[in-house]
Structure formats: structure tokens, C-alpha cells
Amino acid sequence: MNVQDALRGFLDAVYPPICLLCGQFSNGPYPHCCEDCFDSFEPVGNHCCELCGELFQVGQVPHLCLSCIKGRPSFKWCRGVFLYRGAVAEALSRLKYGSMIPLLEPLDEALAMGIRGLHPFPDVDLLIPVPLSIRGLWKRGFNQSYVLAASVGRLLDVQIQTDALRKKGNRTQVGLAAVERSRNATTSFVPGRAIEQVRGKRVLLFDDVYTTGATVRSCARILRRAGSSVFVLTFARAVSPYESR
């Protein structure tokens, strides 16, 4: 047994590892996320629009959804890795609003496992996390999209670019209706000082949650106008209340 294992054993004895999601004793490899919670993360799977990733009823083969047929988005591909409910929703909420950084380790591992299951996955040159406003960053202390994107960058061996986009204003998307989300996202994001660096690049735009898509669609429009090809990845994808998955 090495020193690190011995120290972990001592700390576990003094401070028993408790799952931050369910409050039960953590019996898995992660001291703050038990095996049951980790295993309950639900992959989105392949029953979705082949372009925007909109969820379909189970059993439907991939095809274009009605929205993409009516008007193509600015991105070429969009996927969420997990369904935004249950332990996934709880983990992301506690990370974002409770600053529970110990959850990053299991979230990073889940994200890596999920990406390996996405086929085909696009080849990209740059990774761009959706930015926070200065006030939002000061209030929260970190950008959850950036810290999650860091593991994606390591997995894909792709450089992260944080200055191509900028968020102005302080209004969040939480609690807004779909139309309000779209209006708020359209006016909130602007090109950053490094926007010229995306010209001719294949860019992977990353966000923690895809709800209505207003945020990533707004950011994708800016990046495409700057001359890049845009692909979108989110940790989680919101489930419609009418979805019977």
C-alpha cells in the first residue's frame, strides 16, 4: 500500500465518504458519488435527430426532425451525452450552484465514457466552452462549462479557446420561457477578442446542459459567421415533458 492509499484509508475512517447526490455511504471508486448514482446516469443514445440531437421516441431510427427540415441550424452536429434528469441533473446543479467541486471527478469520467460511445464523433481543431459573464464568473467562482470541457480537451487532445466568445449582461437562462431564452441568448453573446482564430477551423462548442438550444444556437451563429464549422456537445440534454423515454 502506498502513502496515497494509506492517507485515503485514514480519511475514509475519520470522515466516511458520503455521496453528495443521495447522502448514502459511497461504495464505489468516487468518495462523493456512490456507485448506484453513477450507474444511474442515462445516456441519450441514438434515438435522436441526426443533426440537432432532438430526442425521439425509442425505436425511431435517426433522421432529421421537423425543426431542422424547416430551417438548418448554424451547427453541423449536436449531441447531448446524458439525459438531464435524476442523478445527472442533481450533480450538475450541485456543481454549478453549490460549488461541489469533488463531483468533477465522477462527472469527468462519465463524460469520457459517454463520448467514447458517440459514433461517429467529429474531428475538431478547437474546443470552445460557452462563456459566463464577468459577474457570473465572479459570483460562481468558476465556469462549469469550462471545467467540464477541460476533460473533453484532454480526451480529444484538442486546445481550448476561451476568448473567441464573450457573454455580456447578467441575466441567466434559468426560469425563462423558450421565447425569452432565445431573445436573451441572442443579445447576450458577442464575438470575443480571439474570434479571428476560429476562421477555417472545425470548432466543438461545449455547454453543460442543452435545454431549448437557445444558447448554443446563438453562439454557433457567431462562430459560423466568423468562418468556422461548428459542432456542439453538451453534457446533458433536457427531456421534454411529453417525452416517454
Query: What angle (nearest 5°) sits at the alpha carbon of residue 32, between those of residues 28 and 36?
Result: 45
Q: With respect to residue 243, please indicate whether it lies within any of the assigned structural domains.
A: no
Q: Are residues 31 and 48 in the same domain?
A: no
Q: Are residues 142 and 124 in the same domain?
A: yes
In a domain, 244, yes or no: no
How many structural domains compose the chain?
2
**Shared-domain flag, residues 98 and 218:** yes
A 10 A CB-CB count for 216 gives 27
- For residues 101 and 143, membership in a common domain is answered with yes
Question: Measured in whole angstroms, how far is the alpha carbon of residue 171 from the centre of its chain?
Answer: 20
Residues 186 and 80 in one domain: yes
Asked if residue 13 and residue 131 are part of one domain, the reply reads no
Per-residue pLDDT of 114-149, as tens digits, reads 999 898 899 999 999 999 998 888 888 999 999 999
Could you tell me if 165 and 52 lie in one domain? yes
pLDDT digits (tens, 9 = 90+) for 81-93: 999 999 999 999 9
155, 34: one domain: no
Q: Is the pLDDT of residue 11 over 50?
A: no
Going by C-beta distance under 8 Å and a sequence separation of 6 or more, which residues neighbour residue 212? 178, 181, 182, 238
Q: Are residues 1 and 63 in the same domain?
A: no
In this prediction the pTM is 0.86
Q: Is residue 142 part of a domain?
A: yes
Do both 32 and 54 map to the same domain?
A: no
Domain range for residue 23? 1-39
Residues 25 and 114 in one domain: no
Helix ranges, 99-177 (H): 104-116, 134-140, 144-156
Measured CA to CA, the distance from residue 90 to residue 107 in angstroms comes to 12
Tens digits of residue pLDDT in 55-75: 887 666 778 999 999 999 999
Kindly state the DSSP code that residue 120 receives in the 8-state scheme.
S
- 138 and 86 in a common domain: yes
- Rounded to 10°, the helix 104-116/86-98 angle is 130
